[in-house]
Amino acid sequence: MQIDEKKKIEDDYLIGGPLFKPWKVCPNCNQTYKGTLLVDLADEYVSFTKRTAPYETPIEGVPDTTFPCEPIRYVDALYYKLNVYATKRGGDLNEEIGILKDLRNIATEIMSLIDIIKNHQDQVFGSPGSKNYQMKLFAVLNIEMWTLLQIGTCYEKEVSLRLIDKEIGLKMALGHYEKSQEVAQLFPGEGVEHNKNNIARVKCKLGGDMKGLVA
């Protein structure tokens, strides 16, 4: 299948693409950025994506302001930001609470946008059955899986910090891990094992084989 130059540039900027690498790894010393610099670059990467990935064909029935740029590129950029923010560590309880709030806000935006994308697949992904369609669908499902997992992790963290009732928090975590596992079953990858471990751990904390909840 022929991929035009514009499409190639879009793919190269997705997480893992060759044009994305300098945002994560120093081109001079080949070391991964850390700390505040990594966080600042993640924020700038989202802004860069907005500037360089215009969405030329808005989704019918969706306000133009919903996606500031090409949907897949934007969700991908937010997903990278989520991953980076998940590495942050607070010096005290207030900072930890602030980090959890940021993670929840980013994850909520990602899940909201993914719902819109999945409800308008033909417009966003192109012709059903095409290679391009399958590649974009896989990218979105992968982001959905890991974002649900991150939300579950946030609930577990809130329980450990005693910010939420233990049983409620663990059930919410379990529900998101189970939902993530449902998505993970749609394609091969390491997400399945991650979720199995998370589900087993939370069920153990709950003291039995209990069904989780998803808000």
Residue 204 inside a domain? The answer is: no
Residue 195 inside a domain? The answer is: no
Burial class (CB in 10 A: 0-12, 13-18, 19+), 13: buried
Specify the pTM: 0.86
Residue 83 inside a domain? The answer is: yes
pLDDT at 1: 26
Q: How many domains does the chain divide into?
A: 1
d(CA 211, CA 114): 25
pLDDT at 9: 44
Residue 183 inside a domain? The answer is: no
The domain in which residue 82 lies consists of 5-164
pLDDT at 131: 76
Q: Label residues 131-165 b or e (16+ Cβ within 10 Å = b).
A: eebebbbebbbbbbbbbbbbbbbbbbbbbeeeebe
Residue 23 inside a domain? The answer is: yes
At 100, phi and psi to the nearest 5?
Answer: -60, -40
Residue 189: strand, helix, or coil:
coil
Beta bridge partner(s), residue 25: 32
Q: What is the full per-residue pLDDT of the chain (215 aa) written as tens digits?
A: 233 444 444 555 566 666 788 888 888 898 999 999 999 999 999 999 898 888 877 888 898 889 998 899 899 999 999 999 999 998 899 999 999 999 999 999 999 999 999 999 888 888 887 777 888 888 899 999 999 999 999 999 999 999 999 999 999 999 999 999 999 988 767 777 888 899 999 999 998 655 555 54
Residue 138 inside a domain? The answer is: yes
pLDDT at 157: 95
d(CA 158, CA 90): 13
pLDDT at 2: 33
Any idea which residue has 């190269």 for tokens? Answer: 12
Residue 134 inside a domain? The answer is: yes
pLDDT at 182: 93
pLDDT at 14: 64
Taking the mean position of all CA atoms in its chain, how far away is CA 78? 7
> How many angstroms separate the first and last alpha carbons of the chain?
41
pLDDT at 192: 79
pLDDT at 92: 94
pLDDT at 3: 33
